[in-house]
Amino acid sequence: MNLPDIRQLNIFIALEETRSFTAAARLCFITQSAVSHSIKALEKQLDCPLIERMGKRIILTPYGEVFLHHSKRVVAELETGLSKLAKLKQWGYTSIHIGVPDSICQLVLPGALKDFYEKHPRCEVSVSIGDTSEILKMINDGQADLGLGIQQALPDQKFIFTPLADDELCFITSTGHPWTKQEPTMRKELSDVRLITYSAKSETKRLVTRHFNEHVIQHHQPLTLGNMEAIKEMTKLDMGVGIIPRWVARREIEDGSLTSHPISTPPPKRKWGVFSPAHKTLALPEEDFITICKEHLEAAIQAGTVEPATA
């Protein structure tokens, strides 16, 4: 089926708004016969009746009601797009839509965006939140230009991965947890605690599971949460032992509400980077955004490795 053109949609919407061929023609600056011809052609194209005449009144059929709803959405989206294009042409604005995980959004993005806007004040940045797999889907569906995430094995070559920084995972406990007095013997004691880790479908969870399997560390099936802040809060309440990057818990470690412990030597590591479509040539604002994110992420991770001062 060929799609109706925007002119047909506007005429149909005008007819519904006015309920009159004469008024719709006046609204669209065309003749009454042109309105009638457009509606008949639209009904033929869709193979269903859109309107009914009740004396001098015009009402929509059930088909017309459904089609009207989607027609208005299409026209509204197009008008929004045209408005944005006009703004870009008039003021020289550009835009970037990025996907980022929750922890990056909270701890890295505010400072990175501040520096970015100082360099590109006319670039609008839209942000969507998700884990790496969700972000890759956003990029693949054309809903994001760039995505910050954790490197993973991909079945195809749809994406380019630009490395930013590496971090390490650690255990965190409440300050009253027995581990604060005596560090655990991994293989012996992990089977006795509830572990709290990030989302079951995330690359972080897969990394933790793979690391434990490789080191033959027995452990219960972890409690998984989709938010690093929730992991920290549940750990504070002694609901279990959290698994988290140390830099994400830096504030709580420094104020003494959480204590960090090494998982093993070497610890499980994650490689952060920026995903972009393989066919995409990065614009200057996008290249600068990646550079600024790299600086801020490296600084956050580095600051998180420093042990808090003791009195």
Q: Which of 71, 2, 72 is nearest to 41 (CA)?
A: 2
Residues 6+ apart with CB under 8 A from 36: 21
Helix (H, G, I), strand (E, B) or coil at 182: coil
Give, in words, the CATH class of 6-90: mainly alpha
CA angle, corner 128, sides to 126 and 134, nearest 5? Answer: 145
Q: What pLDDT, on the 0 to 100 scale, is given for residue 233?
A: 94
Instruction: Give me the pLDDT at residue 274, please.
Output: 96
DSSP string, 209-243: HHHHHHTT---PPPEEES-HHHHHHHHHTTS-EEE
Fold of 93-311: D-Maltodextrin-Binding Protein; domain 2 (3.40.190)
Q: Which two tokens stand for residue 25?
A: 């023609």
Instruction: Enter the DSSP assignment of 198.
Output: E
pLDDT at 307: 61
183/295 Cα distance (integer angstroms): 34
Q: How many CB atoms lie within 10 A of CB 201?
A: 13
Please name the residues in contact with 273: beta carbons below 8 A apart, sequence gap of 6 or more: 148, 149, 150, 151, 161, 162, 163, 164
Per DSSP, the residues of 130-175 read --HHHHHHHHHTTS-SEEEEE----SSS-EEEEEEEEEEEEEEEET
Dihedral angle sign, alpha carbons of residues 105, 160, 136, 224: negative
Q: What is the mean pLDDT, run by run of 10 residues, along the chain of 311 residues?
A: 87 92 92 93 93 86 93 88 70 80 93 94 90 90 91 80 93 90 66 81 83 70 83 93 93 93 85 91 89 96 71 41
Fold agreement (6-90, 93-311)? no
Q: What are phi and psi of 64, to 5 degrees?
A: -65, -40
Helix pair 32-46, 6-18: axis angle to 10 deg: 110
Please report, in angstroms and rounded to a whole number, the separation of the first and last CA atoms in the chain.
75
- Alpha carbons within 13 A on the beta-carbon side of 248: 24
Domain boundaries, the chain: 6-90, 93-311
Q: What one-letter code names the amino acid at 236?
A: K
Angle (nearest 5°) at CA 256 between 251 and 257? 80
Q: Which parts of the chain fold into alpha helices (H)?
A: 6-18, 21-28, 32-46, 62-91, 102-107, 109-119, 132-140, 186-189, 203-214, 228-236, 250-255, 284-304
Does residue 259 contact residue 140 with C-beta atoms inside 8 Å?
no
Print burial letters for 61-75: b (CB count within 10 Å at least 16), e (below 16): eeebeebbeebeeee
- Picking from 67, 62, 55, the residue whose alpha carbon sits closest to that of residue 11 is 67
